[in-house]
Structure 1
Amino acid sequence: MRLAVTLGLLTLAACPPKRGPGGGPAPVGVGCPDANNVYVASYLTPEDGGKGHTGWVLPLHDKVVESVKGVAEYATLDHAAATAAGVPAPPQSVWILAPGVAPCRATIGNYYAAAIDAPTPNLTYGIELTGCQPPPDPSNASAIAAVSADPPSECQVIGPRAVASRLGEIDKQGKWQKPAKETPIPASLAPVIPNHECAAPGCEKLWSIAQVDVGGQPVAWAGAVNWLTVSDECEWKGQRFSGFFVVGPTGAPMKVTEGQDHPLALTAVLADKTGAKVLIAEGPGEYTTYTLGAGTATVGRHLVWLLPHPDSFEALDQLGPVCPEADPGSAVSPPKP
């Protein structure tokens, strides 16, 4: 990539909003918008020495091109140029939702185009947003952008919490160590996970499961399971399974597969006094919002806003040893029986 466009996932807690500075009565708040009026904003930071906007942006469109050679890394566009490129009109009342603070109404700025120097060259388009604070970690942040005429202060952003895991660690000598403890996969989720023969010490089964609760009841899960063949290589091969799930018509977990050009990860659920309303799932350069209700997750908005390097998709469900970036040829020693 020629721009450090953030692709980070949300790390959000269901904290009550705090009043912002200033006096006078607070504006009347409303609940969550429908899924079609929920977007994902990214925090954009130019690479060292690069030019462009630093701050929130709202991605809206992507276009594959033959080459980005000679194309500006980042450029603002007028309305006519954006329309000619196929960029849809942006929403006019956008609120950035962040944990622990009141929703921030962003000011709509210029259209932009950013060149992505990937194996499939592409241009990503959107609109600049100003007036809202940067995330705690500007290098790795995204945020929910809700479209609403009134502040959605009654809408909670609830992120998944870890409920089960079996994950090893790499020690200082570069050796993979078996987990000292593990939490079993929830019984309700176990039936939807496939079975593979995997017996130690030649194979290790690893997992990571998270859950979203609304009103004290689970409404969604995210999970990844790996069955990995132990070897002297720095990255182990094997079978992988991952996905996210909602409560289906029978009350059992149901895997969500629609609205994904590539596998996505559950990042948050929006809920208000009526219950869980919208589920948001993200991946590199792509996101989908889903309407929750009646045992279904219906696609509200699906957007591929950037085409990254294909390798970026591999990290989504990788739980085992990986090759160190600084020394890709080094080996990780297998665990001791």
Structure 2
Amino acid sequence: MAEAAASREAPRILVVGPSWVGDMVMAQSLFMTLKTRHPGAVVGVLAPGWSLPILERMPEVDEAIALDVKHGEFGWRTRRDVARTLKGRFDRAIVLPRSLKSALVPFLAGIPLRTGFTGEQRYLLLNDRRKLDKTVLDQTVKRFVALGLSADEAASGAFAIPRPALSVDGQRQIALRAELGLGERPAIGMMPGAEYGPAKQWPLEYFRELAQSLIARGYAVWILGGPKDAEAGEVIAAELDYAHNLCGKTRLADAVDLLAACEQVVTNDSGLMHVAAAVGTRIQALYGSSTPAYTPPLTDNADIHYLGLSCSPCFERTCPLGHRNCLKQMLPARIEAAVCGSPL
């Protein structure tokens, strides 16, 4: 009886995390909610191995458990093996992705209460199934937090959304400036990538034009992204003094510290945009095929740039009309004015 009471007072909760950087950052709002609603709760997160450096920056996460399955791979054996290590360790699971395979590990681990939205024929894998009302839960972060609440409270839509706040390593910031030769100029970060597709990417020639203008004003420009963004970073930085192409040269944890060291960032709707929001850096957020109504940066310290054309948002990976006017008509002068405090 005492053990049961302790479990109710301080549950052991496993969250099956998402597979995108931005979504993982937004999931911190759920972790915060769980810690507030259940003082003393143990929160574990099952997530892709690449995301562990982000989870390490979240004080609410007590344990990060790697599930290294390649993108698009079912990974039955890996999921089964991880499930075996989790047997008897958690009272409840919250499954954030809506796929069948994401609900498999909690089921195989025998976790008693398994919560998630209905979808992909996973009726038997979840025993606390929630219907997703997209008119009430109209943002990704709301959907994540709702799964940590009672069904009735979640359905009302009347609940607080705590804002993500990643820890920053000040000593590592200093070391990175030296290691990467970044100098002492105040920095503007630029994130030209968007993993989802080119319909979310501001033209590279606009990033370069803006970089030239900002460097002339006395700034340095730090271009951040993964190895896939290295070529784009070179287009922006080539032959520009004080422009540093860091794409693919830093770890994800380093990106957290570098973004926190920037005065502002100019970014597509991307995972690193959400990282910048979670470290408190001012954001110039550029939206094209997506909408700030659905995945806004979770901060008051942001300027949102969205033209709202008749064809926007289309949520397509590539522009179905072939012109990307939603981003091409968003000119560099507008963003420069916003960065420098004199909006057009």
TM above 0.5, yes or no, is no
The structure where helix makes up a greater share of residues is 2
TM-score of the two chains, using structure 1 as the length reference: 0.25
TM-score calculated relative to the size of structure 2 = 0.25
The structure whose residues are more often strand, as a share, is: 1
